[in-house]
Amino acid sequence: MTLDPVVTHLVAAALAMLLLVGAWQKLRDQMAFRTALEAYDIVPANSLSALFAWLLPCAEALAAVALVIDGTRTYGVMLAALLLFYLAGFVSALA
């Protein structure tokens, strides 16, 4: 059984929009995002936080772009899944 291509494109576009909005919010106020990373001890303060505050939104944007291009959709799904699993692992560690 194969999915209707329209459904596949809609799901990919919706996930891409979610990732792009998240990336935009993080890039728009990098200092606040970096402060949040340091406050939640996601990365060591002042050493990797600046790099991570820049790389995470770039990875989200890259995944979003890859999701909407047919030839790179598989890579976009893998990168998006990796980002979402990272977030889920972080949230579960806080609980």
Residue position matching structure tokens 């990373």: 37
Residue 95, pLDDT > 70, answer no
- Could you tell me the sign of the dihedral formed by the alpha carbons of 84, 90, 94, 95, in that order? positive
C-alpha to C-alpha distance for 95 and 86, rounded to whole angstroms: 15
Prediction pTM value? 0.86
User: What is the per-residue pLDDT across 26-85, written as a single tens digit (0 to 9) for each?
Assistant: 999 999 988 888 887 777 777 788 898 899 999 999 999 999 999 999 999 999 999 999
Residue 80 is predicted with a pLDDT of 96
> Quick check: 34 and 47 in contact, CB under 8 A?
no
Q: Which of 60, 66, 63 is nearest to 25 (CA)?
A: 60
Residue 27 is predicted with a pLDDT of 95
Q: How much is the CA Rg of the chain, to the nearest whole Å?
A: 15
> Quick check: 51 and 45 in contact, CB under 8 A?
no
